[in-house]
Chains A and B, each alone.
Chain A
Amino acid sequence: MANYDVVMIGGGHNGLVCAAYLARAGRKVLVLERRERIGGAAVTEEVFPGFRFSVFSYVVSLLRPEIIRDLELPRHGLHILPLESTLTPLENGDYLAQWNDHDQNRRELARHSLRDAEAYDEFGLMLHQMARAVKPLLGMAPPDPTALSLRELFGLKRLAEHFQGLGTKRFNTLTKLLTMSSADFLDEWFETEALKATKSASGIIGTLLGPRSPGTAYVLLHHYMGELDGVFRAWGFAKGGNGSVSAAIAGAARAAGAEIRTSAEVSQVLIRGSRARGVVLAGGEEIRAKLVVSGADPRRTFLQLVGEKHLPGPFVDSIKRFRFRGASAKVNLALGELPDFTCLPGRGAHLRGAVSISPSIGYLERAYDEAKYGGTSSRPYMDIVIPSMLDPSMAPPGKHVMSIFVQYAPYHVNGGWTDARRDALGDAVVDTLSQYAPNLKKAVLHRQVITPADIERIVGLAEGNIFQGELSLQQMFFLRPVPAWAKYRTPLSGLYQCGAGTHPGGGVMGASGRNAAFQILGAA
């Protein structure tokens, strides 16, 4: 007898979102999390005494507003503090800043290029239109273009009508965004190198590609789709770190009646009569359920927890070909004092925003070049925030925490990841940043370096890919993770998937979990 309606593998944010929606619909849900804490890659941990970090993912933006509304996340403790600027220090000692304040931003851009200042608003409008064009797709289970059923054909027809409704011009821009490189795309708009590089950096995040490679323009758009209070491209920081996002979702799930167990590692999906009937925990405990939903990545779900022998051969081949290739690392610093940037000295408003080390497209490409052949970037791209500037509770009084997203640090590094390599990466990060903020080195009290191998080991994401699989065009929409299996179902009846390895994919977005829940509820 099934004790539960649904057992959820993994307490990451997508699993929690999915569980919350299912519980609200009256299902009896149990969430099983391997670690001692929920959240997956969205966690807050006190890594060093008094210093709390969003250890892995570190900003909020992509989290779907409908999820925030439906699950009443603010009531469960979600509070988002906006990031108001992006500072790009330049190699010549100058800087480029982008501000949320329109006039301030325009004045700053005009300092570099009058033309770019003129083009900026139009560019923003265009991306806004594109984000609106793609937005309905995020909340949709992708229709299967290879299926023959009327229902799928109807879905495809509706999709075609949606695109036709955009009008020729917008549709053309969208197809260009899908097929171009972010560097080429930005070349059409701007001339300031640092502006192009900083914007194109959104196109390489989490992906082992350089900004000149086609396909990166879409990733740029993907990162633009974050909405906060109805504004696209708004990034924020969750009060209490990203763990509080997970805590809020978990709160909503519990309030709806879901049960959550931590330190409960699933070792396999229980299969009887070619149907998923529950799970077996690492300790041998069997938990029965009518449905099993996996928030783990496709590789772990199918090759490890289910097992090849229960799945059709071509499906297994496709899962094996699904590309992960984690490309990014995280460095968390506990600081005794704030960094003092030579280009913009003192404790200015810029420290309340993001700092991007992306002085030119060539810089990003050179960082990528090293990673292509199995090295790590000696001068990496970095996206930096100082959460303690927005939320003083993250660090002891007068001290600070700094969160550094680092790319490229490929999972498949020559000779594998070792302690020495991890330290070398940490040194490269601190050295590079010290060029722009010379006091940094002596300000560092503690340093935590997390490589893709660490992400895989700790969080369980295959190859440390932050999106549960590369967000490249050939792994998106109805191809994610496998053609014909993009609608959250799997070839094993009774098993669904809801992780970022399904459409629409990564970022602390929650859309995969929500879409999966609707598919499950619609099918039942």
Chain B
Amino acid sequence: MKRTIVIGGGADAVVAAQLLARGGREVMTIEGASPASEEGWVPPQVVRELRLEGVKLDWPDPWLTVPLPAGGRLELWLDMARTVEAIRQVSPRDAERWPEFCDRLARLARFLGELYAAPPPDPLSARFALRARRLGKRGLADLLRILPMPVAELLDDWFENDALKGALGAAGVLHLLQGPRSGGTAFRLLHHHVGCPPGVFRPPRSNALELLRKLPRVELQQAEVLRVTVRNGAVAGVVLKDGRELDASTVVSGADPRRSLLDLIEPGWLDPELVRSLRHVRRRGVAARMRLELDRSPGFSALALAPSLDYLERAYDDAKHGRLSQQPYVEARCEGSRVEVLAQYAPYGKSCAGLADRVTALLGEHWGDAQPLHTELASPRELEEFEGWPQGQPHHAELSLDQALWMRPLPELAHYRTPIDGLWLCGPAMHPGAGIAGAAGLNCAHAILDR
């Protein structure tokens, strides 16, 4: 059997390469610039199958600090009881409801977590139906109701405090060109909750990629792929930018599907209808990334600046009409004196002029006497260039309901296989993708080896 080539250096590509090598394939990985560390949950299946040791999922504690408009802060802790006490200071009613809310969402997240560690389910299969029914009567009713809902409505059902709702609502729109009043955003809150302890609604940081990249056994080439060669409808090899040609019978691409199928393949091999559908896969980057170095620790570990759902919605309104948010959503995470910031909404292709100052000013109100020594902002366009994220979208394909599960990124491609024999897709654009490390790689490798 000829060689298998894996394109990309992200967690999914590494997991796929490792599993294929362990499955007896001769594997070579080709990667360009080394990718940024990825956030997110690592499914236990990935840890188990690769026998990874020392995987750490890390949440700051408190996992989120929310400044209150009237002064003071609401701190959300890993410890449920402590969070309840903190919420009680702003709303006794919300504190009362918090444990049940967390419990009900955690049940649904566990269900999604099971789906995420396997290939996308067939929604019409008896197996899927039986699995869903294990959620119980209330769980199933919750799931059916919550998935298509606007996150704002879900939160309005439960809570009254604007700051709490703003901070939770933001999890429904991260990296999405939608506002909290748009349908389908409650699903995103659940998605980011998968793998988290009950009551924690931000994905963890993990050392998974670091550990994965330390694994031996796979030959690595630092190069850019120019083209995947296809002969008679089947993969024949890849051509590198430096002119080298490598033979391969299987190519697994961690690049986004549009690049993999429309740029790397010579036109003409694909059905025009698939090409049309691929061009409609939405992947609009909406967040700028900012890194700051302060002269001291800012006094918070994770900070969310979204005083209310309306604040988020207004930030989205700007982006919806093609403008940079005047009052952006800002989420900052800090280690020591280094702060990494997400600023949303900054639509792809629009100037981010003034955004760095705006974000610094907004954050400056919350870091006391600290002074920034160095700031650096990357717009979606720059993120596309530096990180290879199409249009600056880290999930490669926006994770909206119509691009999730068996529709991710397109129903025709959801099973990692492409119409080109021997060409497979893994990466964030594939199920489950979007911030879940290695699961798409795992599912893809299984699909290849099972064949």
Contact = CB atoms under 8 A, between A and B. Distances in A.
Interface of A: 145-146, 156-157, 160, 163-164, 168, 171-172, 175-176, 178-181, 184, 187-188, 209, 212-216, 314, 321, 323, 362, 365-366, 369, 372-373, 472-474, 478-479, 483-484
Chain B binding surface SS class: helix
B407 interface: yes
A160 B280 contact: no
30 contacts: A145-B144, A146-B133, A146-B137, A160-B126, A160-B129, A168-B411, A179-B184, A179-B400, A179-B402, A179-B407, A184-B282, A184-B402, A188-B280, A209-B181, A209-B182, A214-B400, A214-B401, A215-B148, A216-B183, A321-B157, A323-B153, A365-B320, A372-B313, A373-B314, A472-B148, A472-B183, A474-B147, A479-B144, A483-B140, A483-B141
Contact of B141 (A146, A157, A178): A146
Contact of A473 (B124, B148, B412): B148
B317 interface: yes
Interface in B402-432: 402, 406-407, 411-412
Interface in B113-131: 123-124, 126, 129
Range for the number of chain B residues in contact with chain A:
35 or more
A474 B140 contact: no
B145 A479 contact: yes
A145 B401 contact: no
A212 B402 contact: no
A171 B124 contact: yes
Contact of A175 (B140, B153, B407): B407
B223 interface: no
A160 B126 CA distance: 9
Interface string B130-160: 0011000110110011111110010001000
B174 to A, nearest CB: 16
A484 B137 contact: yes
Contacts of A146: 133, 137-138, 140-141
Contact of A483 (B145, B401, B411, B412): B145
B414 to A, nearest CB: 10
Interface string B254-269: 0000000000000000
B148 A179 contact: yes
B382 interface: no
Contact of B183 (A168, A213, A366, A373): A213
A214 B402 contact: yes
Nearest to A482: B141
Interface in B280-334: 280, 282, 310, 313-314, 317, 320-321
Nearest to A177: B402
Interface string B170-207: 00000000100111100000000000000000000000
A216 B178 CA distance: 14
Contacts of A184: 282, 402
A157 to B, nearest CB: 8
Nearest to B149: A474
A209 B411 contact: no
A484 B138 CA distance: 10
A405 B310 CA distance: 27
A172 B407 contact: yes
A168 B414 CA distance: 13
B128 to A, nearest CB: 10
Interface in B341-391: none
A43 B148 CA distance: 34
